[in-house]
């Protein structure tokens, strides 16, 4: 029967101690004072407790289940609760189940929980996470049980030399405490000894990982640095006085991981002392580091090599030779992902390697979503790509950056839209190549030409001198090249340059296509390449063959935009301009619908000739004003639907009354559902309206700045900053941005057009619109 410790029990313990103090001197043939005997007893008892904690830890580290269970309070309690006597010789099933449940609890505590979108937060693997004092107030801090530090859940049971070493670091004097034998009941009185053990992990290649001191633990663009722990202190509680509560043994170690195990009412300090951990670095294991690096480079499996490299990086992330090996592997992995995504095949790996680099050249300046798949962990291609860049940067800064690794880094910079850095590397390499090595010079000239093409294409700088420079570099590379493969890469660069030329020379474009086709056919055994050469976004719409070419859609993350947009012919005329100079005077402009009105359309909107118009000799006039507040006239363009337009129109007031407004319609579903931005030409006051089922709501007002003169220019942009999905309006009047209070997000595809309100009679000239494709969200649904 369980009971609280009584005064009689304390008296019995005191008498027992007195008996020991009196008998020991005679046994050893010498006289000592009672005070000396008391000290010896206490010291002996403390030593027994510390040795028990050490043996418990060693048994757990070594997987000695029966020995461990004989010390463990949780296992002893299970034995007693099942009707057996809680003695060291336990039933076989209870220790095994207790061991299994304890390890399961440990594994759950150290389970790696990646945080999406944070580079470096994924792939910590099995480890301790946050254990240092500098992270104690972090959101992810856990007070780990002490046995976790030596548990097989984080330290694999392999060679004996790799197992944690446990030594006694000290203990605190015995103190009275409370033990919760049954949850919800009052604690019983026991004695508690706190024992500190020093745990040493002798092998940095298998030691548990933890976040190094002062590393950022929050969402941060900085890569978090985990490292293998070398030493730490753990705190175990040894409880005594258990026989008073039905146990066959008087001492045991508290198992702080098992939910059904007895626990101290006031445990006190954490299981792993936060100010104690020390970490391994390369200097403490220099020879081991070199041996492991050589071993990693000889591994057949890419996954095994990558795992070994990442463990070595935790010891020294800036070691040039390690980063060179890692960067080369990651670059090759990225190329192999291109092979799979592009469906390209070649008779030998060297040819395939060059062709896939060409594939990524095309991808980088068109789709780009293979490089921006939301975050790490979603795409093997993106993971390899973004990890290869910093690895090769470290290798190149050190002494391990070979010319080929430097060329690879330059290519990665180009594909990452950093053409300036790519050019710097490739031009420096070219300057170091002797004039006699024509083949290598031709290859580097091609790299430089593609660097310029990337910048020109992405920034839409078709008038830049780099266009002519890239054309000459590609032409010279074609002359210097000998193999059909190198010549094909040069010919494709020339083809892309012709697509970017304004005005476009169709004859030169066709000649580039024919040359590419001829060279492609000379490379035997190549399949799957030609559709990418003429079916990419830059070339597809300009060639009759391209319009019938379908690029196979690659498998990719469901979080990015549907690839169907790249496999079907798109309307490449994203600019729309209505000058009204080809329309019949006196009629409604062609391709427009007027409304809402019961009158005939041409009585409200019609084309008129006017030599004073700012752009052309014809313009559109709204001839019949509305009567009454909230009345409006609109003219909708029927020829195109816009998602995120940038709209510009010239306008002037004709009527003498200054009450009404003139402006732009956008996101229109019909003549009774749309948004409108209107301005009073006399005052510059701007209004934003939402018309829903014919009902008008004023969403906000702002003030613009008018230039002198009767004609003015209104510009309305639907802006989607940072590629999220919260489009907003930017409004400009006569070139000056007007301040408008933040309003609801404009959602939905729709028509654009013109509007007048109330008694305004106005004229409009040159309505222009462009679809802001680059403002679309990068993912569906958008991240924010």
Q: What is the average pLDDT across 5-33?
A: 37
Q: Residue 384: pLDDT above 60?
A: yes
Per-residue confidence (pLDDT) for residue 571, from 0 to 100: 52
Q: Residue 26: pLDDT above 50?
A: no
- Cα distances from 38 to residues 14, 25, 238, 452, in angstroms, run 11, 12, 20, 87
Q: Residue 54: pLDDT above 90?
A: yes
Tell me whether the omega of the peptide bond preceding residue 558 falls within 30 degrees of 0, making it cis. no
Structure tokens at 734: 């006569």
Per-residue confidence (pLDDT) for residue 111, from 0 to 100: 77
Q: Residue 597: pLDDT above 80?
A: no
Q: How confident is the model at residue 44 (pLDDT cuts 50, 70, 90)?
A: low
Q: Which residues sit opposite 568 in a β-bridge?
A: none
Per-residue confidence (pLDDT) for residue 378, from 0 to 100: 64
Per-residue confidence (pLDDT) for residue 547, from 0 to 100: 54
Q: How confident is the model at residue 88 (pLDDT cuts 50, 70, 90)?
A: very low
| Cα 186 to Cα 4: distance, rounded to the nearest angstrom | 10
DSSP state of 356: H
Per-residue confidence (pLDDT) for residue 548, from 0 to 100: 57
When comparing pLDDT for 140 and 347, which is higher?
Answer: 347
Output the average pLDDT for the chain.
82
Q: Is residue 224 within 8 Å of residue 215, measured between CB atoms?
A: yes
| Range among 72-76, 182-186, 779-783 rated most confident | 72-76
Q: Residue 207: pLDDT above 80?
A: yes
DSSP state of 341: H
Per-residue confidence (pLDDT) for residue 538, from 0 to 100: 80
Per-residue confidence (pLDDT) for residue 433, from 0 to 100: 93
Least confident range from 91-95, 238-242, 274-278: namely 91-95
Q: Is residue 201 within 8 Å of residue 164, measured between CB atoms?
A: yes
| Cα 540 to Cα 121: distance, rounded to the nearest angstrom | 40
HSE-CB for 771 with a 13 A CA cutoff:
14
Q: What is the average pLDDT across 240-258?
A: 93
Q: What is the average pLDDT across 178-200?
A: 92
Q: Is residue 688 within 8 Å of residue 666, measured between CB atoms?
A: no
Q: Which residues sit opposite 527 in a β-bridge?
A: 345
Q: What is the average pLDDT across 2-6?
A: 39
What string of H, E and C letters represents the secondary structure of 246-295? CCCCCEEECCCCCCCCCEECCCCCCCECCCCCEECCHHHHHHHHHHHHHH
Per-residue confidence (pLDDT) for residue 29, from 0 to 100: 39
Q: Is residue 753 within 8 Å of residue 634, measured between CB atoms?
A: yes
pTM for this model (two decimals): 0.65
| Cα 686 to Cα 468: distance, rounded to the nearest angstrom | 45
How many Cβ atoms sit within 10 Å of the Cβ of residue 287?
Answer: 7
When comparing pLDDT for 396 and 90, which is higher?
Answer: 396
675-723 tens-digit pLDDT: 999 999 989 999 999 999 888 999 989 999 999 889 999 999 887 754 4
444-503 tens-digit pLDDT: 999 999 999 999 988 878 788 999 999 999 999 999 999 999 999 999 999 999 988 888
Closest C-alpha among 141, 250, 157, 148 to residue 197? 148
146-164 tens-digit pLDDT: 999 999 988 876 666 688 9
Helix or strand holding residue 362 (H, E): helix 349-365
When comparing pLDDT for 35 and 524, which is higher?
Answer: 524
What string of H, E and C letters represents the secondary structure of 659-705? CCEEEEEEEEEECCEEEEEEECCCCCEEEEEEEECCEEEEEEEEECC
268-291 tens-digit pLDDT: 778 999 999 999 999 999 999 999
Least confident range from 45-54, 116-125, 265-274, 541-550: namely 116-125
When comparing pLDDT for 579 and 15, which is higher?
Answer: 579
Per-residue confidence (pLDDT) for residue 198, from 0 to 100: 97
Q: Residue 593: pLDDT above 60?
A: yes
Q: Residue 551: pLDDT above 80?
A: no
DSSP secondary structure letters along 55-117:
HHHHHHHHT-HHHHHHHBHHHHHHHHHTTS---SS--SHHHHHHHHHHHHHHHHHT-----TT
Q: Is residue 730 within 8 Å of residue 647, measured between CB atoms?
A: no
- % of the chain surpassing 90 pLDDT: 51
Per-residue confidence (pLDDT) for residue 25, from 0 to 100: 37
Q: How confident is the model at residue 441 (pLDDT cuts 50, 70, 90)?
A: very high
Q: Torsion angle, CA of 539/540/541/546, rounded to 10 degrees?
A: 120
Q: What is the average pLDDT across 103-125?
A: 65
Least confident range from 116-125, 399-408, 426-435, 703-712: namely 116-125
Q: Residue 516: pLDDT above 60?
A: yes
- Cα distances from 228 to residues 105, 114, 710, in angstroms, run 22, 19, 74
DSSP secondary structure letters along 369-392:
TTT-SSSTTS-HHHHHHHHHHHHH
How many Cβ atoms sit within 10 Å of the Cβ of residue 447?
Answer: 24
Sign of CA dihedral 380, 383, 384, 385: positive
Per-residue confidence (pLDDT) for residue 320, from 0 to 100: 96
How many Cβ atoms sit within 10 Å of the Cβ of residue 772?
Answer: 18
Least confident range from 261-265, 346-350, 641-645: namely 641-645
Q: What is the average pLDDT across 621-627?
A: 82
Q: How confident is the model at residue 727 (pLDDT cuts 50, 70, 90)?
A: confident
Q: How confident is the model at residue 242 (pLDDT cuts 50, 70, 90)?
A: very high
Q: Residue 402: pLDDT above 70?
A: yes
Per-residue confidence (pLDDT) for residue 19, from 0 to 100: 34
| Cα 111 to Cα 125: distance, rounded to the nearest angstrom | 8
């Amino acid at each position: 029967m369980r009971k609280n410790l009584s005064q009689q029990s304390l008296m019995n313990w005191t008498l027992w101690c007195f008996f020991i103090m009196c008998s020991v001197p005679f046994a050893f043939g010498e006289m000592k004072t009672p005070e000396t005997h008391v000290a010896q007893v206490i010291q002996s008892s403390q030593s027994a407790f510390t040795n028990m904690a050490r043996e418990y830890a060693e048994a757990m580290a070594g997987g000695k289940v029966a020995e461990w269970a004989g010390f463990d309070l949780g296992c002893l309690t299970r034995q007693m609760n099942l009707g057996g006597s809680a003695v060291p010789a336990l039933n076989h099933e209870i220790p095994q189940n207790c061991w299994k449940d304890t390890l399961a609890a440990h594994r759950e505590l150290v389970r790696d929980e990646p945080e999406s979108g944070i580079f470096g937060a994924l792939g910590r693997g099995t480890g301790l996470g946050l254990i240092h004092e500098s992270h104690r107030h972090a959101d992810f801090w856990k007070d780990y049980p002490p046995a976790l530090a030596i548990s097989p859940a984080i330290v694999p049971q392999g060679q004996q030399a790799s197992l944690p070493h446990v030594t006694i670091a000290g203990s605190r004097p015995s103190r009275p405490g409370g033990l919760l034998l049954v949850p919800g009941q009052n604690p019983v009185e026991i004695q508690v000894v706190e024992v500190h053990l020093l745990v040493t992990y002798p092998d940095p290649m298998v030691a548990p990982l933890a976040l190094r001191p002062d590393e950022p633990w929050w969402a941060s663009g900085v890569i978090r640095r985990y490292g293998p722990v070398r030493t730490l202190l753990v705190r175990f509680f040894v409880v005594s006085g258990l026989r008073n509560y039905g146990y066959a043994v008087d001492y045991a170690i508290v198992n702080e991981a098992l939910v059904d195990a007895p626990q101290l009412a006031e445990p006190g300090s954490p299981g792993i002392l936060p100010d104690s951990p020390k970490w391994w670095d390369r200097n403490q294991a220099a020879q081991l580091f070199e041996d492991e690096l050589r071993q990693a480079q000889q591994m057949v499996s890419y996954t095994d090599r990558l795992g070994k490299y990442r463990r070595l990086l935790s010891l020294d992330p800036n070691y040039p030779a390690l980063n060179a090996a890692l960067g080369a592997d990651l670059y090759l992995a990225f190329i192999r992902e291109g092979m799979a995504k592009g469906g390209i095949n070649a008779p030998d790996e060297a040819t395939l390697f060059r062709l896939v680099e060409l594939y990524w050249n095309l991808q980088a300046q068109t789709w780009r979503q293979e490089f921006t798949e939301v975050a790490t962990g979603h795409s093997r291609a993106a993971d390899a790509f973004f990890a290869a860049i910093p690895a090769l940067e470290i290798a190149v800064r050190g002494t391990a950056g070979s010319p080929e690794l430097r060329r690879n880094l330059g290519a990665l910079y180009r594909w990452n839209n950093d053409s300036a850095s790519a050019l710097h590397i490739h031009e420096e390499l070219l300057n170091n190549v002797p004039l006699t090595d024509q083949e290598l010079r031709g290859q580097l000239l091609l790299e430089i030409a593609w660097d310029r093409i990337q910048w020109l294409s992405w920034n839409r700088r078709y008038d830049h001198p780099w266009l002519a420079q890239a054309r000459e570099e590609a032409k010279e590379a074609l002359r210097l090249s000998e193999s059909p493969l190198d010549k094909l890469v040069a010919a494709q660069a020339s083809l892309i340059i012709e697509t970017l030329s304004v005005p476009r020379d169709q004859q030169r474009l066709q000649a580039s296509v024919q040359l590419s086709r001829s060279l492609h056919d000379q490379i035997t055994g190549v399949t799957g390449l030609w559709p990418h050469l003429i079916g990419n976004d830059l070339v597809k719409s300009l060639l009759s063959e391209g319009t019938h070419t379908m690029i196979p859609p690659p498998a990719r993350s469901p979080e990015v935009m549907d690839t169907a947009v790249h496999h079907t012919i798109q309307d490449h005329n994203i600019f729309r301009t209505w000058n009204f100079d080809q329309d019949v005077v006196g009629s409604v402009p062609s391709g427009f619908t007027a409304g809402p009105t019961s009158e005939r359309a041409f009585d409200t909107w019609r084309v008129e000739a006017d030599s004073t118009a700012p752009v052309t000799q014809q313009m559109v006039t709204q001839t019949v004003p509305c009567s009454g507040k909230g009345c409006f006239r609109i003219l909708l363009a029927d020829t195109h639907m816009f998602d995120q337009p940038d709209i510009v129109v010239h306008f002037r007031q004709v009527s003498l009354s200054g009450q009404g407004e003139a402006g732009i319609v956008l996101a229109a579903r019909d003549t009774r559902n749309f948004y409108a931005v209107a301005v009073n030409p006399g005052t510059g006051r701007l209004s934003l309206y939402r018309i829903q089922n014919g009902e008008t709501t004023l969403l906000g007002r702002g003030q613009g700045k008018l230039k002198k003169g009767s004609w003015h220019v209104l510009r309305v942009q639907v802006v989607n900053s940072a590629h999220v999905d919260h489009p907003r309006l930017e409004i400009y009047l006569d070139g000056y941005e007007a301040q408008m209070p933040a309003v609801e997000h404009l959602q939905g595809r729709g028509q654009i057009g013109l509007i007048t309100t109330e008694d305004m009679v106005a004229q409009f000239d040159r309505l222009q619109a462009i679809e802001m494709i680059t403002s679309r969200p990068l993912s569906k649904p958008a991240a924010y």
